Amino acid sequence: MLDTDFFRRWMAATAAAVDREADRLTELDAAIGDADHGSNMRRGFAAVNDVLGKEAPRTPGTVLTLAGRHLISTVGGASGPLYGTLLRRTGKALGDATEVTPDQLADALGAGVAAVTQLGGAQAGDKTMLDALLPAVEVLGTSFEAARDAALAGALGTVPLRARKGRASYLGERSIGHQDPGAASSALLVGALAEAAGPTEGGGE
Amino acid sequence: MSEDKKVGIVLVSHSGPVAEAVVELARGLAAGGATAPMAAAGGTSAGGLGTSAELVSEAAARVDMGAGVALLVDLGSAVLTVKSMLAEGDELPDGARLVDAPFVEGAISALVTASAGGDLDAVEAAATDAYGYRKT
């Protein structure tokens, strides 16, 4: 079972990963966007860390809804409402439970990803965060490691794609050959699940 | 809808100065009587380029007279932020609506219509109509 502490560790591990990789995310964004993805995400998840420390939410659902709300308020760029919606909808789908199973998390994250799809109007293959999230959600029921690997592969798989959404889509053919920064940060978010489960959850059943 | 209640308008731009300047332009062109309430929500809370959900939410509360609020937006994160706030249901006043319109021209049409007492549907129609104004 995954308890509230697991979800705090997930957010903390994401914040640490985003902080560590912020320069790389910004470099990816410099190639096809406006070169602020790393700093925006770092600012957003630093705010998430702050608020989770102060408000001490007591259920997995409230950890994620609180995190989502603060991402929308603090990020400033399009990744704010996209990641904010992802976490908030995932949190809402988890309801009031104090512990959830990995399968319930997989279903809830699926609902979050569906909300992102609706908000941004993107589909698989459009060179967006969905290219990491969709394959990850598909195998999340198997293991967090499988989800992490699927998200990473999905993010790398955006390199040859042509962007059809967001600012990168203005570049047309020139967006080909670069990894999508949103898919890269989504891979960090999914990878942090395995990290959160690692030391104290005994690495699964 | 009581006639003293006018539709409020919020302009959400990536840039604070752009949002402020378009409010000023619209007020200048719509003048001739009392104009409907209009507020700018441009840039981030720290004054940078981007969108702040807080600024949007404050601006919407400020112009809300109970007759609805029309939100006009420019690009990317402005569109997504307002959409995600509407989807949550509790972050914008009742009757808040994202209006699909050209930012500058739509703002002027919306303000003229709202100032004349048009309801939210009329304001939306006028703002959207601005897409049909051809320049060549």
- Strand segments (E) across chain A: 2-3, 99-100
The answer to whether the CB atoms of A119 and B83 lie below 8 A apart is yes
Q: Does B83 touch chain A (CB under 8 A)?
A: yes
The answer to whether the CB atoms of B44 and A82 lie below 8 A apart is no
User: Looking at chain B, which residue has its C-alpha nearest residue A70?
Assistant: B53
Closest alpha carbon to B123 in B98, B89, B86: B98
Give, as one character, the DSSP assignment of residue B7. -
Domain boundaries, chain A: 2-197
Closest alpha carbon to B6 in B72, B81, B79, B66: B66
Prediction pTM value: 0.91
Strands A99-100 and A2-3: antiparallel
The mean pLDDT value of chain A amounts to: 94
How far apart are the CA of B44 and the nearest CA of chain A, in angstroms?
6
Strands B38-42 and A99-100: unpaired
Question: Looking at residue A199, what is its pLDDT?
Answer: 58
User: Would the ipTM clear 0.90, i.e. be above it?
Assistant: no
Which architecture does CATH list for A2-197?
Answer: Alpha Horseshoe (1.25)
Per-residue pLDDT of A70-123, as tens digits, reads: 999 999 899 999 999 999 999 999 999 999 999 999 999 999 999 999 999 999
Confidence of residue B3 (pLDDT cuts 50, 70, 90): low
Task: State residue B90 phi and psi, 5-degree precision.
Answer: -125, 15
Taking contacts as CB-CB distances below 8 angstroms, the residues of chain A near B48 are 76
Q: Does A87 touch chain B (CB under 8 A)?
A: no
* Rounded average pLDDT over B36-50: 94
Question: Looking at residue A35, what is its pLDDT?
Answer: 92
Confidence of residue B79 (pLDDT cuts 50, 70, 90): very high
* Rounded average pLDDT over A17-28: 97
Q: Does B52 touch chain A (CB under 8 A)?
A: yes
Alpha helices in A33-59 (DSSP H): 37-55
Q: Does B87 touch chain A (CB under 8 A)?
A: yes
Give, as one character, the DSSP assignment of residue B34. P
